[in-house]
Amino acid sequence: MVEEIEFVEKDLIGEENLDVISEADRFNEYMYSAIKPFCKGNILEIGSGIGNISGQLINDGFKLMLSDVRGGYCNRLNEKFQNNKLFLGTEVIDIIDPEFDVKYSLHFGKYDTVFSLNVVEHIKDDSLAISNCKKFLKDGG
């Protein structure tokens, strides 16, 4: 059984937008085609939302760990992918958390690929966000 992750906050507008975007097949295919050539090995997606791109990666055989700052999205992702052996799980991750190095150190150096779509531009300290994301990468990732 998948453990339910506590809601950080309910994001009705964001979730509604993600549901609409999930229907935009061409847009999602375009976004996926832009990152696919750079994906390899174990992948961590930052800001997975409801999995609009995640499913395409899993369908193409990639092992994928999903994350979001909102526990509700992580719960939805767990339900969506829990029976897929390529799904590595979910975790609530805040890439600018002041305690980032303590909270997320178990993920450091663990992934071959880390990506984020439609997220970093919404973060006030995007340089810190990118710097922290690099910590998740293996050497050569």
Alpha-carbon gap, residue 37 to 47, rounded angstroms: 20
- Mean pLDDT of the region 129-135: 96
Q: Is 72 helix (H, G, I), strand (E, B) or coil?
A: helix
Its pTM stands at: 0.82
Q: Express each pLDDT in 10-39 by its tens digit.
A: 454 455 555 545 555 687 789 899 999 999
Alpha-carbon gap, residue 121 to 141, rounded angstroms: 22
Is residue 50 pLDDT above 90, yes or no? no
Q: Which of 4-8, 49-53, 75-79 has the largest mean confidence? A: 75-79
pLDDT given at position 2:
43
Helix (H) or strand (E) holding 97: none
Contact 132, 126 (CB under 8 A): no
Q: How many CB atoms lie within 10 A of CB 113?
A: 21
